[in-house]
Amino acid sequence: PRIGGPPSGVNIAAESLAVTGTYALSVVPYGDAPYISRRPRPLDPREPEDMDFAERRRNMVESQLRTNKVIDEQVIAAMAALPREQFVPKAYRGVAYMDEDVAIAPGRHLMEPMVLARLLQEAEIQPSEVALVVGAATGYEVAVLAKLTSTVIGLEADAALSQLAGA
């Protein structure tokens, strides 16, 4: 079987390309329904000078969290207050608020905002509780939890990642 394309014998007459986040989506005719191929594309490492991270953070809250059953106001406030772009390598700050996992090291990712918010909401974290994060990476989840509870312990085995925490 072929990977990344329609099955053999399919006549592809046209292709359109849409780019979203770090992926290129190819939509091609496939019988009566379009076939969508999702393949990674390289990120543009340039950071625009006029990038408004506060506006991107507001958009993340309104279009990714609130529209996806995140209703816990403490979780929303915590994620709205934290500059997520400071928890990713500089080359990836332009995509810090996209609705996908963000690569922060080989094999390591910053969790998609909606997924993190839904997990925290389901945990029903109380201010008096202690939270432990194993595999804290750059510390974003630890920072969010610190807004929700009095004590958070973050453990990270990768010294390079822990040095990026909040950089």
Query: pLDDT digit string (tens) for 17-59?
Result: 333 334 333 333 444 444 443 444 444 444 555 578 999 999 9
Residue 35 neighbours by CB under 8 Å, 6+ apart: 5, 6, 10, 27, 28, 29
Question: Residue 112, CB half-sphere, CA atoms under 13 Å: how many?
Answer: 12
Instruction: Give residue 92's pLDDT.
Output: 87
Instruction: Answer for the pair 14, 64: CB distance below 8 angstroms, yes or no.
Output: no
Percent of the chain with pLDDT over 90: 54
Q: Indicate whether 78 pLDDT > 80.
A: yes
pLDDT band at 166 (very low <50, low <70, confident <90, very high): low
Instruction: Give residue 40's pLDDT.
Output: 44
Per-residue pLDDT, averaged over 69-89, amounts to 95
Instruction: Answer for the pair 22, 41: CB distance below 8 angstroms, yes or no.
Output: yes
